[in-house]
């Protein structure tokens, strides 16, 4: 033992580095310091903090308060009242609960549990919103606004260059030739169905995006809006022709009425 008070290193090759009331009771277990921390399974580690327990083999609690890593090779990097109960699971933040194998859970400061009960699922709670940036300046990306259920794609005029107008009627002509089908993903479990085109067909028609294996949401929206504009333009043209024909018919009627007098 390195020091401190009321510490116990009772496991073979176990180490308590310091602090107060810490216990390392299993083979090669370690408590580096802090208060009232316990490493009770082989190769388990608690680095510090207060009231933390590493009770799974090869489990780790890096610090924080009231955290438990009870699964084999489970990890809690810190925070408060987190539980990594599944083998190879991860829980961080406040009151994150990873109960199954491979579960990854991150919870914000909200004082309520975020429970992940599905193996190999990534779950996060960020009540202030979620932002993903794809450039170093943090000016390009997508966000999920607080309380929202829809992604916002960056579409600011100032972020774009090489802007080229499209012919909506030409877009419409291409859209009507793209096959649309229902289908399911091979990797998706259950009888879940989806509807839409194949990315290869959309890419062949419009050449948009950086791959022919996917369709970006901003491109799909742009194609749909342009096609709607194309329909509107054609309806306007038909309305104009109908109006002209109606006037022509009315003129003929007047001529017939006048000739019959």
Question: Is 223 inside any structural domain?
Answer: yes
Is 112 in the same domain as 60?
yes
In-domain check, residue 119: yes
pLDDT per residue of the chain (261 residues) written in tens, 0 to 9: 677 899 999 999 999 999 999 999 999 999 999 999 999 999 999 999 999 999 999 999 999 999 999 999 999 999 999 999 999 999 999 999 999 999 999 999 999 999 999 999 999 999 999 999 999 999 999 999 999 999 999 999 999 999 999 999 999 999 999 999 999 999 999 999 999 999 999 999 999 999 999 999 999 999 999 999 999 999 999 999 999 999 999 999 999 888 876
In a domain, 138, yes or no: no
Number of domains making up the chain: 2
**Are 23 and 120 contained in the same domain?**
yes
Q: Cα torsion at 145, 108, 106, 17 (round to 10°)?
A: 150
* DSSP per residue, 40-92: -STT-EE-SSBS-EE-STT-EE-SSBS-EE-STT-EE-SSBS-EE-STT-EEE
> Is 158 within the bounds of a domain?
no
Model pTM?
0.87
Do 201 and 107 belong together in one domain?
Answer: no
Asked if the structure places residue 159 within a domain, the reply is no
> Do 230 and 180 lie in a common domain?
yes
Q: Which of 80, 103, 127 lies at the terminal end of a domain, its last residue? A: 127
Measured CA to CA, the distance from residue 50 to residue 31 in angstroms comes to 11
Q: Which pair of tokens denotes residue 136?
A: 């170093």
State whether 94 and 172 are in the same domain: no
Q: Domain range for residue 40?
A: 1-127
Three-state SS at 203: helix
Inside any domain, residue 153:
no
């Amino acid at each position: 033992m390195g020091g401190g008070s009321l510490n116990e290193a009772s496991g073979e090759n176990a180490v308590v580095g310091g602090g107060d009331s810490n216990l390392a009771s299993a083979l090669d277990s370690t408590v580096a310091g802090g208060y009232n921390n316990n490493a009770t399974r082989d190769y388990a580690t608690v680095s510090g903090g207060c009231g933390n327990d590493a009770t799974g083999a090869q489990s780790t609690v890096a610090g924080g308060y009231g955290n438990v890593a009870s699964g084999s090779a489970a990890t809690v990097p810190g925070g408060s009242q987190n539980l990594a109960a599944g083998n190879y699971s991860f829980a961080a933040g406040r009151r994150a609960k990873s109960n199954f194998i491979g579960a990854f859970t991150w919870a914000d400061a909200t004082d309520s549990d975020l429970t992940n009960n599905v193996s190999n699922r990534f779950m996060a709670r960020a009540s202030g919103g979620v932002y993903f940036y794809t450039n170093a300046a943090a000016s390009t990306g997508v966000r999920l606004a607080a309380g929202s259920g829809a992604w916002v794609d960056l579409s600011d005029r100032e972020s774009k260059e090489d802007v080229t107008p499209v012919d909506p009627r030409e877009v419409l002509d291409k859209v009507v030739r793209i096959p649309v089908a229902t289908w399911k993903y091979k990797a998706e479990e259950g009888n879940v169905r989806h509807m839409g085109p194949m990315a290869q067909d959309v890419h062949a028609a419009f050449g948009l995006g950086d791959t022919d294996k996917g369709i970006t949401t901003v491109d799909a929206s742009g194609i749909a809006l342009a096609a709607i504009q194309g329909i509107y333009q054609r309806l306007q043209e038909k309305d104009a022709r109908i109006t002209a024909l109606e006037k022509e018919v009315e003129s003929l009627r007047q001529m017939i009425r006048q000739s019959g007098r």
